[in-house]
Amino acid sequence: MGMGKRGLLATAVTVVCAVTVLAAPGTAFANASRVPDPTPATSTAPGAAPGATPGAPGSLPTPLPDKDLERVRARLDGLYHDAAVATDAYNAAEERTKAQSAQLADLAKRTAEVQRRLAKLKDQAGASARAQYRNGGLTPTAQFLLSGDPQQVVDGAGTVLNGQRATKKLIAEVGRTERQLGQYTDEAAAQMEKLEADRKAKEAARKEIRQRIDDAEKLESRLEKKQKERLAFLERQAARRAQTAWLGSGVLRTATGKASTQGGEAVAFATAQLGKPYVWGAEGPDSFDCSGLTSQAWAKAGHPIPRTSQEQWKQLTHVPVADMRPGDLVIYFADATHVAMYIGDGKIIHAPRPGRTVTVAGAGSMPILGVVRPDA
């Protein structure tokens, strides 16, 4: 084996210690539809339309019609959706990092064991070579054939045969061990390449999240106090309309399921987190993102589930919305980029988005993709 592979192996072992900075999403970011800049054409210069008043530099004119605030709300929703897509990709990378670091640690352990075994085998081979040197360079077989003592010939026959078998076994074992060591080294090198690629993609996800959140915060900062209050009212109004329509469809008319023991424990955990801030990539204890809240709730209930909302949707058992019970997870949007925990009576607990806290909301206030049950 060349020194290049051994160098890679040494680096792989080092990577295990620093692996938390590695890994990243393997998929591209979905882009939510862009909404044009909501700045209305109303001028704030002298001669502007009555009722328009100048605001802070860069702020949106006041008063701002509801239709324009709705455009602002749509733009914000798009930006935060993009951030949610990147956050799910970032979280998936974190999970992949954990798996890869465990594999590297296991490879390092197995490689060290094989190296020790190979060193021992080579010591044995060296001892045999030294013994042959002490006997004038003659192998045990040659010494046996050249012996003039008939009794020694008879006595040594078995020893020679055993020695030949041992030598062949030693040679074969050295070969197998060297091949195994090479395999482990190649695997470690491949894992390192994956980790490096993931590291770059993860940085791209991190930048995407920060850029989208920064864009949203800049847009919100342009709103004056009354505009922000009106925007918040419009958001609540839209959520109420969606919830009322959802409940009015009768979807929960037959829903009578009670929480399982673990489901009740998960709900209790989620309830205890009310008021804690949303932070992307966070899994508690002081802050959460949407899937960080649901995955930690079920982990505390003794039933670990996938970390991301998309994997929760892919891997957990799907149940009809009409049959959902407290503790089930409600997955939102066509790309499964948001998740909440159903707590009964048509309500959920979720970590909404940056700038918000863990809160109770109507289960139908956002577009539902489906429902999954961790302990089905």
Please confirm, yes or no, whether 17 is among the known catalytic residues.
Answer: no
Q: Is 316 within 8 Å of 373 (Cβ atoms)? A: yes
DSSP conformation letters of 69-102: HHHHHHHHHHHHHHHHHHHHHHHHHHHHHHHHHH
The residue from 17, 81, 318, 350 that is catalytic is 350
Please confirm, yes or no, whether 81 is among the known catalytic residues.
Answer: no
Residue 147, C-beta contacts closer than 8 angstroms, at least 6 positions apart: 153, 156
Q: Is 224 within 8 Å of 62 (Cβ atoms)? A: yes
Query: Structure tokens of 100?
Result: 């890869």
DSSP conformation letters of 106-129: HHHHHHHHHHHHHHHHHHHHHHHH
Burial zone of 294 (CB within 10 Å; 0-12 exposed, 13-18 middle, 19+ buried): buried
The residue from 17, 290, 303, 318 that is catalytic is 290
The residue from 17, 81, 303, 338 that is catalytic is 338
The dihedral sign for the CA sequence 188, 193, 196, 201: negative
DSSP conformation letters of 235-288: HHHHHHHHHHHHHHTTTTTT--PPPPHHHHHHHHHHHHTTTPBB-TT-BSSS-B
Dist CA 11 CA 15 (whole Å): 6
Query: Structure tokens of 312?
Result: 């929760």
Q: Which residue, 98, 97, 93, 99, is CA-closest to 280? A: 93
Q: Is 153 within 8 Å of 141 (Cβ atoms)? A: no
- Angle at alpha carbon of residue 72, lines to 232 and 50, rounded to 5°: 90
* Residues labelled as active-site residues: 290, 338, 350
